[in-house]
Structure 1
Amino acid sequence: MVSRLITVTILVCFLGITYAATMPDYIKICHRNDPELSKCVKQSVHNLRPYLVKGIKEINVPSLEPLYIGDLNILDGSSGGITVKAKKLTVFGASNFEITKMRASIQNKRFDFELILPHLQGEGQYDINGNILALPIKGNGPFVGNFTNFVAYVRVTYDVKNVNDIDYFDIKEFALKIRTGKGRLRLDNLFNGDKVLGDVINQTINENFELFTNEVIAPIARALEVKFLAIATKILENFTYNELFPV
């Protein structure tokens, strides 16, 4: 009886080691019954960060550096009569996120977490026409923005779907909201390159940075939702539910 127990124990350990060895380095396994599941999931996501910088080619996960957003209609004229468009928007620094709070619930099939983005830089082309703080503003051209300590709140809900008798994650919702931090924007070529008027508008924007960014952050957050959801889905579809979250 004792020898049988020892044999079973060795076999279980061997299978566990073999199983772990088949998983790539960028995947940190979290057990469903782990009393510190939230802590494990946080570590697992942090473990992914260096791999996301260049992307994970073997499972077709794109690079986060830089993160190409593309074209956005940020304001359509209904907010204070101002229209803002961004073109070829590219963001640098998205991979440097730090999760500050995490709550993982297997029972509720939900992850809630808060993360901080210490430094982001955005570059692209802009087109703006309207009024900011009663000042008329018009122009188009290149822009650069530097942003510090932006906070993102993320909610992920999922189901477990069965495909050919194998369980997989099925993300049902990926919601992201951003609270603006500090930063500076520089819009070049305002008023067809009029330096005096351009400097006045840039100064006004930066003196009221939080107010301005609160107006434009929602569509940027939605664009980031799409990008991060695509990355999460690509990772999860390559591994089974039991591989990522064994009992």
Structure 2
Amino acid sequence: MAKDRIDLHLSLPKIEVNGDYDINGNVLLFPIQSHGNFWALFGDVEAIARIQGVEEVRDGIRYMRIARLLIDFSLGRVRFRIMDHLNGNNVIGQAMNQFLNQNAKEIIEEMRPAASASIAKHFKEFLNTAFSKLPMKIWMHDT
């Protein structure tokens, strides 16, 4: 089976993420419990994806299956907003907002390996679904 490689370099001006969060744990010796809404803005995103594919032939037609997908990224800007719904006056949410935004670069750098692996896992599944239905001759020069 032939191996194919695709390198992608992406520049995205802005990614916005909205969702819900739920935290239940301890910080130092203090119990922390909170849940609510989460918003994040990631600006000036630079990403590199390296796709290693393996050719598969089904009914005489060539397809590609992704064997490995590696993703790395850097962020130019980061902004977070947490809205705590459990505790009155949003005190925990305000404290988390301040902490997250003051330490955003360090937090992202610490989370980057896990985030890269998670993004790669989801995109690998998505791309394999697409590539399994799209013969290589449609999107790649046949050699």
The question of whether the paired residues in 1 share the 8 Å contact of 2:100 and 2:107 is answered with: yes
Cα deviation per residue 1:43-64 (whole Å; 9 max; x = unaligned)? xxxxxxxxxxxxxxxxxxxxxx
TM-score, structure 1 length as denominator? 0.48
| Counterpart-to-counterpart distance in 2, 1:218 and 1:123 | 21
- 1:214 matched to 2:98? The reply is no
Match of 2:84 in 1: 189
Task: Give the C-alpha shift of residue 196 in structure 1.
Answer: 4.4
The question of whether the paired residues in 2 share the 8 Å contact of 1:169 and 1:241 is answered with: yes
Kindly indicate whether structure 1 or structure 2 has the higher relative contact order, using CA contacts under 8 Å at least 6 residues apart: 2
The question of whether the paired residues in 2 share the 8 Å contact of 1:168 and 1:239 is answered with: yes
- Which stretches in structure 1 are left out of the alignment for 5+ residues? 1-106
The question of whether the paired residues in 1 share the 8 Å contact of 2:20 and 2:35 is answered with: yes
Task: Give the C-alpha shift of residue 113 in structure 1.
Answer: 2.4
Match of 1:144 in 2: 39
Match of 1:60 in 2: none
Match of 1:246 in 2: 142
The 1:222–1:136 alpha-carbon spacing in structure 2 relative to 1, beyond 3 Å, is same
Amino acid at match of 2:107: F
Q: Which structure has the larger Rg over C-alpha atoms?
A: 1
Aligned residue for 2:134, secondary structure, equals: coil
Task: Give the C-alpha shift of residue 138 in structure 1.
Answer: 4.5
| Counterpart-to-counterpart distance in 2, 1:212 and 1:227 | 22
Task: Give the C-alpha shift of residue 182 in structure 1.
Answer: 1.2
| Counterpart-to-counterpart distance in 1, 2:59 and 2:6 | 26
The question of whether the paired residues in 2 share the 8 Å contact of 1:155 and 1:175 is answered with: yes
Aligned residue for 1:180, secondary structure, equals: strand
Q: Which of the two has greater strand per residue?
A: 2
- 1:165 matched to 2:60? The reply is yes
The question of whether the paired residues in 1 share the 8 Å contact of 2:36 and 2:82 is answered with: yes
2:17 to 122, 135, 151: 122
Task: Give the C-alpha shift of residue 231 in structure 1.
Answer: 3.0
Aligned residue for 1:188, secondary structure, equals: strand
**Number of matched residues?**
139
The 1:181–1:197 alpha-carbon spacing in structure 2 relative to 1, beyond 3 Å, is same
The 1:123–1:217 alpha-carbon spacing in structure 2 relative to 1, beyond 3 Å, is farther
Amino acid at match of 1:175: L
User: Percent identity of the aligned residues?
Assistant: 23
- Which stretches in structure 2 are left out of the alignment for 5+ residues? none
